[in-house]
Amino acid sequence: MNISQAAQACGLPNKTLRYYEEVGLVVPMRQEGNDYRIYSLADVAQLRFLQRARAVGFSLDECRELLTLYANPQRRCGQVKALVSEKIIQVDQQLIALHAMRDTLVDMANECAGDDTNDGVIIDRLAVAESPPLNRPSSMAFTLVEVPDIRVPHGGS
């Protein structure tokens, strides 16, 4: 199937498929004569795997490692569990950081009367160096991304 058909089959934009190819996560065959990408059913299964892994927060490097395990019939459950356990720790750290950010935002909102007065307490707090520090742990290094709604079929496929 061509890139548009593969993209539709796995629910990803064509651009994402091209990017995954560029970084070596999927390698479709090329049609002789015109160099068009030809995606096999195995490629589409791999793209769906990547989509689900990304949706639960795995980075591209982690996806690469997961794909290696996915392709290895000798993989061990413990290897995969270790990756998932590390991801759980990262998510827990992100949740702590998000709660701290929320607390700061609530504090800022509570400091503002919310009426038509010209009281820029929130803007002032963001702008002034002497204001209390924002409750944001320095360990917060992640990016929130929008992921598509993914339906994972039951029964192992």
What are residue 30's DSSP bridge partners?
37
pLDDT band at 152 (very low <50, low <70, confident <90, very high): very low
Average model confidence (pLDDT) across the chain? 84
Closest C-alpha among 74, 15, 20 to residue 47: 20
pLDDT tens-place string over residues 24-40: 999 999 988 888 899 99
pLDDT at 151: 47
pTM: 0.69
Alpha carbon distance 123, 137 (integer Å): 21
Q: Taking residues 71-88, what's their average pLDDT?
A: 92
pLDDT tens-place string over residues 118-128: 778 888 888 87
Domain covering 3-71 in this structure, CATH number: 1.10.1660.10
- Segments of the chain assigned E as strands: 29-30, 37-38
Domain residue spans in the chain?
3-71, 81-148
Closest C-alpha among 72, 97, 98, 69 to residue 83: 69
